[in-house]
Chain A
Amino acid sequence: MSKIKRGVSLYSYQNETFQGKMTLEDCIRTSAELGARGIEIIGEQTFWGWPEYGAADADVENWHRLIKQYDCTPVSHDFMLDYKRYKGRIMPFDEQVASVKRDIEFGARLGMKFIRALVSIAPEVLVAAAPHAEEHGIKILIEVHAPLHFDHPWIVRHAEAFEKSGSDALGFLPDMGMFLHAFPPVWKEKFLRIGVPRNIADYIEKAYADRVLSEYVILEVQEMGGTGPAIAMAETLRHNAAFEPKRMLDYMPRIHNIHGKFYQMMEDTNGDCVEPSIPYDEIVKVLQQGGYEGYICSEYEGNRWIEDAEEPDSVEQVRRQQVMLAKLLGEAEVPTIKTSPTASADAEATREAAE
């Protein structure tokens, strides 16, 4: 039995929560039924008001009630730090640090172990906030996300700053999208829908598989007569690459949470599920080799690639990924949803209609 635990970032259900089709209770209960008991949120997505006018005490109480009721564990509050809040000037350093401190306190108020920093935030800001994080029992994790990766100088600079600080309240949250081993089918289909000629789309998919340098692919697409959407499709190769999961091994002592990014989960007739573009079998092996004992939190990001053609079914996509993860982690039980994922939202709608 693996020590790696399963969780869900509620980001995954954004298409449903945006429209009010799932409540927070629906999100937490559905994740818990799948055995994914680690709950990660983007604080300001889940809590209206944060950070500009604050989260209501009643909403925070509701959060704790639901976490307890469904036997879940708060994992991470993903914060944003809008350093471009002021038009035409970047937020001053001291104000950025103060802002991170408020997110540390909010994370602690929610019972989180971690808060997630976006990768564009400067290491000096995080180092300055680290003592405050230590006081509140929080670790600040910078999200290592494509196009960045563990060998990129910007990430190396963070790692050096973290080591120099001597604080163990600073770490990394790798997003598995940086290990994009194949061009995602849902990306290709979207580009075909917006007018990329089939031969060009096939070429880009093949060039990605052959690991051709992005700049050569863009030039080749231009020479094939590609314009607009075809160039845009080729340019995705500038921002994505098949980096190797084993690059995480050097950083294991500072890796405390994982974003289980996925674009599409496919299910075969045996119920086996696979992400066609991200090698989760290899990823899980590397994490086990590195002694990882934290959560892998599902992060479904296929919604934006299909919503022009069909309504995303985020819950089904998360279910399939959890089935895959449970199997890779050696769990005997197949994750299953027992309650309608919209039960709480439906009940609310019925109550409102009756009033």
Chain B
Amino acid sequence: MMDNKMIVEGSLQSEDGGFSFLGRLPYYRGLGLSMIEDIQVTVDGEVQSRESVRFSVRGKTYTLDEMETVYDDRWNFGEKAKIIVLNGGLAAGDHQITFAVRYRVSYLPFVPTTKDTKDLALAA
């Protein structure tokens, strides 16, 4: 659900050593960060390494490994998290971004991965 609303339109921007965009959890509620198993970002067909991804909400930034044991913070319902990728940066212009999230839901007999792909422009 809300799969096509995961990536926030117009949110691509440059960061020191990389780029970021805003992402939402495709779910009718939020989740504690320890239940976010993986976030995979693909840019123009190139999969970015797990180590290069950072997740940031309300001024706090985590690596994906750190998130696995974070029990006192969460990705709230509809909350726009800043997804940072430290890949050295992107050239100005259009980029195709795929944002895939794997999350552990207690009541589901499987671990879902949901993704969204959008073309986002990076201002010069």
Which residues of A line the B interface, CB within 8 A?
Answer: 11, 14-15, 17-20, 42, 44-45, 48-49, 51-53, 80-87, 118-120, 303-304, 307-308
Complex CA–CA separation, A42 to B2 (angstroms):
17
Q: Are B76 and A48 in contact (CB under 8 A)?
A: yes
For chain B residues 20-45, which have a beta carbon within 8 Å of chain A?
24, 28-35, 37
Residue B46, interface by CB 8 Å: no
**How distant is A105 from chain B, measured CB to nearest CB, in Å?**
18
Complex CA–CA separation, A206 to B33 (angstroms):
44
**How distant is A187 from chain B, measured CB to nearest CB, in Å?**
14
Q: Are A83 and B106 in contact (CB under 8 A)?
A: yes
For chain B residues 70-124, which have a beta carbon within 8 Å of chain A?
71-74, 76-79, 104-107
**How distant is B28 from chain A, measured CB to nearest CB, in Å?**
5
Q: Are B77 and A304 in contact (CB under 8 A)?
A: no
**How distant is A56 from chain B, measured CB to nearest CB, in Å?**
12
Enumerate chain B residues within 8 angstroms of A87, measured Cβ to Cβ. 34, 37, 68, 104
Complex CA–CA separation, A227 to B105 (angstroms):
27
Q: Are A44 and B104 in contact (CB under 8 A)?
A: no
Complex CA–CA separation, A15 to B28 (angstroms):
8
Enumerate chain B residues within 8 angstroms of A120, measured Cβ to Cβ. 106-107
Enumerate chain B residues within 8 angstroms of A11, measured Cβ to Cβ. 28
Indicate which residue in A20, A42, A84 contacts B78 across the interface (CB closer than 8 Å): A20
Most buried by A among B4, B29, B71, B79: B29
Enumerate chain B residues within 8 angstroms of A49, measured Cβ to Cβ. 74, 76
Q: Are A52 and B106 in contact (CB under 8 A)?
A: no
Complex CA–CA separation, A17 to B79 (angstroms):
11
Enumerate chain A residues within 8 angstroms of B71, measured Cβ to Cβ. 52, 85
A-B contact pairs, 28 of them (CB 8 A): A11-B28, A14-B2, A15-B2, A18-B78, A19-B5, A42-B29, A44-B29, A44-B76, A44-B77, A45-B28, A45-B30, A45-B77, A48-B77, A48-B79, A52-B33, A52-B73, A53-B73, A81-B106, A82-B32, A82-B35, A82-B106, A84-B104, A85-B32, A85-B35, A119-B107, A120-B106, A303-B1, A308-B4
- Asked whether A304 and B1 contact (CB < 8 A) given A49-B74, A82-B35, the answer is yes
Complex CA–CA separation, A20 to B77 (angstroms):
11
Enumerate chain B residues within 8 angstroms of A44, measured Cβ to Cβ. 29-30, 74, 76-77
Q: Are A45 and B29 in contact (CB under 8 A)?
A: yes
For the A-B complex with A42-B29, A303-B1, A307-B1 known, give 10 more contacts whose Cβ atoms are closer than 8 Å.
A14-B28, A15-B2, A44-B29, A53-B74, A80-B29, A84-B35, A84-B104, A118-B106, A118-B107, A120-B107
Query: Who on chain B is nearest to A87 by CB?
Result: B68
**How distant is A141 from chain B, measured CB to nearest CB, in Å?**
16
Most buried by B among A44, A51, A307: A44
Enumerate chain A residues within 8 angstroms of B1, measured Cβ to Cβ. 14, 303-304, 307
